[in-house]
Structures are given as structure tokens and as C-alpha cells.
Amino acid sequence: MSQIKDKVGFYIKKAVDNKAKIVFVGGTILFVGGAILLVSATAAHAVGVPAKGSFAYDVYDIAINKILKGGIGFVAGAGAMVAGAVCAIQQKVMESVPCVLGGAVLLNGDKLVTTLGMII
């Protein structure tokens, strides 16, 4: 009986060691990949407001000025905040966090658009 326990313990230890090696190798690959991306990053290009009279300006005007900055954006942001509060009261933290963050982004969307532009 003790030999069986020793063999089982050996295989469990071996499996744990193999998982640790896999996690270490995976983490190393992610770190090196992130470092390569960081070093090879180029300048970000921000797109400003399109020229008036163009089709792109019409789309921008409807999407940003009338929807995001308008009543629809405010109601969507406030609704997301309320949904996040309800989920937090029900102790559903993993559901409430995205609701609150999304609501905050929608409520402050006009500031985000003007600050960041549309970064490509």
C-alpha cells in the first residue's frame, strides 16, 4: 500500500512540476513578446474631427455629437450605472464592475473623444 502511495505522490509531484514549467515558459513568452512590442512601437496617429461637409463628418456628427454627447448617451450611461449598482447590491461583483466602468465611459464619452481622438 505504501508503494502505491509513493508512486501516486511521485506522479502528482511530476504533474505539478510540469505545470509550473508550462506556466513559466508561457509567462516568459508573453514577457518577451510584450517587450518586443514595446520596443517596436511607433507613434500613434490621432484622427481629429473630419472636415465639415464630408460624409465622415456627417457620421461623426450623428455618432458623437447627437448620440454619445446627447440624451441617448446619457440615458445609456446612467442605466449602466444603475445596473451596476443593482448588481453590487445583489453581491454580483463580477457583473457590476463592467456595468459601472461602461457607464462611466458613456457618461464621460465626450471628454474621452476630445482628449484621445480616435487613436489608430
pLDDT tens profile 9-36: 555 565 555 665 666 666 777 788 878 8
**Whole-number pLDDT of residue 42:** 73
Pair (33, 68) in one structural domain = no
Q: pTM of the prediction?
A: 0.55
Average pLDDT over residues 63-88: 91
Pair (23, 55) in one structural domain = no
- CA separation for the pair 53, 3 (Å, rounded): 83
Pair (24, 60) in one structural domain = no
**Whole-number pLDDT of residue 78:** 93
**Domain range spanning residue 83?**
47-119
Pair (15, 53) in one structural domain = no
**Whole-number pLDDT of residue 120:** 42
